[in-house]
Structure 1
């Protein structure tokens, strides 16, 4: 009987959770929950007015991509550049949609060949995309979050 009481006392005294305060247990739970979140994915993509916020995530993504493509296409529809040689290059435009839905150009990839053949091309891209519209921001766990995107801009003058 004494061995049983001793064993019970050892188990009782070594159980740390019995002595943790409610705040410590809550903090531990919060840390576990934070580690379980996939921070590389969002619950819903940024949405334009024409996109359905109740649609599945894949549909939201397609709608977002289509609207961005249309916006970029219209921004460059009247652009005319003259070159003497064929170009088949891809530039990447990095932009961010912040937690308020504002779209900002972060960086336009430098390309030596394009800079030589089309001086000022990056400045032209920046000025045409400077007045980007706003969208509903991406959501993560019901909270608006910012997202970064990379858009390929293909320049092809070959026949």
Structure 2
């Protein structure tokens, strides 16, 4: 019994350190959590209705890019862009999808591009790139977020009949 009492006292004295542990502050916990989040990736990519049924993340992303590229190319094939600038075969568009599902298109021109009027091409693009299908924004931790990506758009000349 004497040994049990000594063991209990020893255990009690050593267990006091567990009661004095520092509890991290709210700010420290927040900073630790913010550092753990990968801000370069989203949980779900932007999507359109046609791609919502796809469950695989990579296939859904690929579907979204294919649909967006096709819609943009179809809208631009109606225009005279390829006739005005026959050397302009590809336009790189920086597409921004905002959390409220608004789309913004910014053409990125090569720095050495002097063969065409950038302002005129930009105005044609903004006039044609309207009335898109509804785009659901990207999701990060359950919250809609802004995403940007680059789409190379092939400018097709309208087929002559």
TM-score when scaled to structure 2?
0.70
Structure 1 Cα separation of the partners of residues 155 and 69 of structure 2: 15
Structure 2 Cα separation of the partners of residues 19 and 153 of structure 1: 57
Unaligned runs of 5+ in 1: 1-7
Task: Return the offset for 1:122.
Answer: 2.3
What does 1:41-80 correspond to in 2, within 5 Å?
Answer: 41-52=41-52, 55-80=55-80
Task: Return the offset for 1:90.
Answer: 3.7
Q: Number of residue pairs matched?
A: 141
Structure 2 Cα separation of the partners of residues 61 and 18 of structure 1: 47
Question: What whole-Å deviation, never above 9, does each CA across 1:17-66 have from its counterpart, x for those lacking one?
Answer: 83446xx1x33222212111111111111110111266121011011111
Task: Return the offset for 1:87.
Answer: 2.0
Structure 2 Cα separation of the partners of residues 119 and 20 of structure 1: 59
Task: Return the offset for 1:119.
Answer: 7.4
Relative distance call for 1:77 and 1:155 in structure 2 (3 A) is closer
Task: Return the offset for 1:139.
Answer: 0.5
Structure 2 Cα separation of the partners of residues 38 and 48 of structure 1: 24
TM-score when scaled to structure 1?
0.71
Q: Secondary structure of the residue that 1:79 maps to in structure 2?
A: coil
